[in-house]
Structure 1
Amino acid sequence: MKTHPDSANSRLDIALRSLDAASTMTAVQQQHAAATLERIVTTPPAPLSDQPGAAPPVRRSPRRLLLISAAAAAVAAGVLVLPSGGGGGRAYASWTPVPAGLTAAEVDLVAPACRKRLGDGHLDLDRARLVLAERRGEYVVLLYRTDDPDVSGSCLAHNRQGSDDVDDVAWGIGGSSGPALPAPARGFTQGAISDFVDASVTDGAAGPGVAGVTIHAGELTVQASVSNGRYVAWWPGPAFTSARDQRSGKGGPQLIISYDLTLTDGTVIRNAQPSRPS
């Protein structure tokens, strides 16, 4: 991967190389990689959601965008997420567990703001393609990807249906320095997880024979958007436990999401396990 001259992207490049699943890491190297990631993913807080029925908001500073794929071992597998300074929360009450598609006009409206944020985060916009877009109430998600390297860039933006206004844009970039690996038949891979405390976004690969991906995040059940071997979903709440001031792993924040798969033959696989980080 080419190293950019600015120090932030140099740190990103170093982190990606150190996390590459193809390399063998010692315990000391893994600890160093985890520490590097923790420094990279610390960001200022944003207003929290007032989603009805959600836990009372707790303001934390600095806010940390948490990451891990299947477990703490994902540090060695190359999962990395960079946070944005997202706002939002005021319209999360309009969220729906089942997504709706976006029209071409809606995509064209939201895409410039999304691409600007992702470009600022050093996603290669010359190569990244839009692979999925979904609407849940007043918020939409656009998912951009490159397959080599395996990198996803997602943004969550406030846009009322029928309105020309786009604001409260939050974004995350995650992946590895190597090429994407396909999901196995009747299986899936777990990609980057962007946890903004008041909202979370995740994506991954869905293998042949997978018609639907359902995500359980605490008390919420989310039907992901699935198309052409990829899935994406967002929900108004965290993806990890609240111990956000601790390192991921034993004694630290734990992933609270699980997955069900619906296959094309109608079979439902409960609590499906990802084959590898995507």
Structure 2
Amino acid sequence: MNIDEVLRAAAEPVPARVAQPPAQALLDRIVAAPPQHAPADTAARRAARPATRILTRPRAVFAALAAAAAAVAALTVPHLGDRAAYASWTPQPSPLAAADLDGLADRCVAQVNTEYGYPEADPAGRVVHGEKRGDYASVSVVTPAWTALCFRDHDGAMRDASFMADPVTAAALGATGVEMQSWPQLRTQEGDCRLIAGHVGSQVVGVDITVRAAAGDHSRTVHATVEDGYFLAWYPEPAGDTDTTTLTLRLAGGGTVADLSARDLYEAPRTN
């Protein structure tokens, strides 16, 4: 049995085994192993983060969840094994089939009801958008009362990534406004990633997300899925606030609105 199989066996199921002596003994052996047996940044990547983060704004409540993230982080060394982390991810999305989109939306709504106690008042009024990037999919569900963003892992597991109550109206956004409805960081078995979703004004036809490394010497552009005034995307990202993220809105007339801070938009929407 290789180290990847040993770790997975110890980590599943997490709630029952994470506190038992065998799991602790395994963790002690990993920590005590010579440096050449693990990547140099293993300890930093394994640092536990809160499983639940709740942020408030005057008009809304965000809840960003990474279910059992702290427990899994204590036992899982990312990036080991034959599969490279998020190897099939692409900066350009592809659409989800209609059947997949509807099925993922139903699962996402069910998780929102279970986690937050928000049932869907009118399924006919649901607005759903989704995308694929390699083996992964994400789906955004918008209702008049709340929005949610969910992530389907490569193994088919569904994770509710974030929830927001009381979204702004299209009238408030105007022609070039933008509301960040979700911007959570999520941990999976392959490492950490960042998800993003929101609502844009009537003249916005494209959203490009520029992610700059903390050192400022590297950047990449992620092209969001944009449909009917809503956008979503996701990308691999190390744990913690190590990147600077900005949005560029591409307008129907050919112009742009550039260098919009994702962090600022997460605190308050841009309206006009």
TM-score tier after normalising by the smaller chain length:
0.5 to 0.7
Cα distance 1:264–1:84, how it changes in 2: closer, same or farther (>3 A)?
Answer: same
CA contact (8 A) 1:98 1:223 kept: yes
CA distance in 2: counterparts of 1:63 and 1:105, whole angstroms: 34
Partner of 2:233: 233
Is 1:60 matched up with 2:43?
Answer: no
Is 1:261 matched up with 2:249?
Answer: yes
C-alpha displacement at 1:209, in angstroms? 0.9
CA contact (8 A) 1:113 1:166 kept: no
Is 1:199 matched up with 2:193?
Answer: yes
Deviations 1:121-173 (A, max 9, x none): 234234362421100110000111222x2x211111024xxxxx622x22133
C-alpha displacement at 1:276, in angstroms? 3.5
Is 1:187 matched up with 2:177?
Answer: yes
User: Is the radius of gyration larger for structure 1 or structure 2?
Assistant: 2
Partner of 2:4: none
CA contact (8 A) 1:111 1:142 kept: yes
C-alpha displacement at 1:239, in angstroms? 8.4
Query: Which of residues 138, 141, 156 is equivalent to 1:141?
Result: 138
Query: Which of residues 163, 166, 188 is equivalent to 2:156?
Result: 166
CA distance in 2: counterparts of 1:67 and 1:240, whole angstroms: 16
**Greater strand percent: which structure?**
2
Deviations 1:227-275 (A, max 9, x none): 1111111111158515xxxxxxxxxxxx732111111112122203649
Higher relative contact order (CA 8 A, sep 6+): 1
Instruction: Say how many residue pairs are matched.
Output: 199
C-alpha displacement at 1:205, in angstroms? 1.0
Partner of 2:148: 153
Please report the TM-score for the alignment, with normalisation by the length of structure 1. 0.60
Query: Which of residues 47, 52, 76 is equivalent to 2:58?
Result: 76
Query: Which of residues 45, 50, 67 is equivalent to 1:85?
Result: 67
Cα RMSD, aligned residues only: 3.2
CA distance in 2: counterparts of 1:93 and 1:187, whole angstroms: 34
CA distance in 1: counterparts of 2:62 and 2:260, whole angstroms: 22
Partner of 1:98: 92
CA contact (8 A) 2:209 2:245 kept: yes
CA contact (8 A) 2:105 2:128 kept: no
CA contact (8 A) 2:177 2:269 kept: no
CA distance in 1: counterparts of 2:241 and 2:208, whole angstroms: 20
CA contact (8 A) 1:239 1:256 kept: no
Matched-pair identity in %: 25
Q: Which runs of 5+ in 2 are unaligned?
A: 1-17, 19-40, 70-77, 213-218
Partner of 1:162: none
Residue 85 of structure 1 aligns to a residue in which SS?
A: coil
Partner of 1:12: none
Residue 202 of structure 2 aligns to a residue in which SS?
A: coil
CA contact (8 A) 1:155 1:170 kept: yes
C-alpha displacement at 1:108, in angstroms? 4.3
Deviations 1:188-232 (A, max 9, x none): 122221111501212111101111011123333211111111111
CA contact (8 A) 1:79 1:192 kept: no
Please report the TM-score for the alignment, with normalisation by the length of structure 2. 0.62
Residue 58 of structure 2 aligns to a residue in which SS?
A: helix
CA contact (8 A) 1:130 1:142 kept: no
Cα distance 1:135–1:152, how it changes in 2: closer, same or farther (>3 A)?
Answer: same
